[in-house]
Amino acid sequence: MKKIVIVSLLLSLCSFGAFAQHRTIGLRMSNVLEVSYQRNVSDVNFWEFDGGFWNFGNGAQASAIYNWIIASPDWSPEGEWNWYLGVGGSMGLVWGNKYHYGDEELGCFLGVAGLVGLEYNFWFPLTLSADFRPVVGPYFGDGVYFYDRIIFDAFWPTISARYRF
């Protein structure tokens, strides 16, 4: 009986610890429209997972990026500001002749993604952020190319709105 009580207590404590991790879900928007999910690893580190469409429907991509909060300036009395940097991976499909090499109709890319951004956490459960996310890597279609289009698209600032829970 004691073992059952101890195991139940430990499982309860573990589940409370899982719920103590901050998470956000929302949208990233510019020439990209993505669903975005963030999960804190610690007070200064978090994962960001994004997936959606870019270039107004001419492609789809998914990214996973590990971020570090590098500064938290005290610019406002109620909310919290954070500067962050991150690195991870991105992959996607490209369709439509406008973004291809040659006459191919479908291609894909893989790459290393970087992220630099600024976020504001309101005193209520809303986070707004602006960031840049360039991706560098190969493009696979009729041949293998260096995919420079995604680098240029990444220099559009992306605005995000996320619900914190």
**pLDDT tens-digit profile of 80-90?**
999 999 999 99
Q: DSSP H helical segments within the chain, as ranges?
A: 2-19, 149-154
Contacts of 56 (CB under 8 A, 6+ apart): 31
Residues 45, 68: contact at Cβ < 8 Å? yes
Q: What are phi and psi of 18, to 5 degrees?
A: -65, -40
Q: Rounded distance, CA 50 to CA 80, Å?
A: 23
pLDDT tens per residue, range 9-49: 444 444 444 444 689 999 999 878 999 999 999 999 999 99
pLDDT digits (tens, 9 = 90+) for 71-122: 999 998 899 999 999 999 999 988 865 555 556 678 888 999 999 999 999 9
Residues 64-70 have a mean pLDDT of 97
CATH level 3 topology of 23-164: Porin (2.40.160)
Other Cβ atoms less than 10 A from the Cβ of 111: the count is 22
Where do the domains of the chain lie? 23-164
**How high is the pLDDT of residue 94?**
83
Q: Classify each residue of 43-78 as buried b or exposed e, where b means 16 or more C-beta atoms within 10 Å of its C-beta.
A: eeebbbbbebebbeebbbbebbbebebeeeeeeeee
Mean per-residue pLDDT, 137-148:
81
Position 135 pLDDT exceeds 90? no
Model confidence, pTM:
0.81
Question: For residue 20, what are the contacts with CB-CB under 8 A and spacing of at least 6?
Answer: none
* Residue whose C-alpha is closest to residue 76's, from 123, 41, 44: 123
**Nearest partner of 143 among 111, 100, 110, judged by Cα:** 100
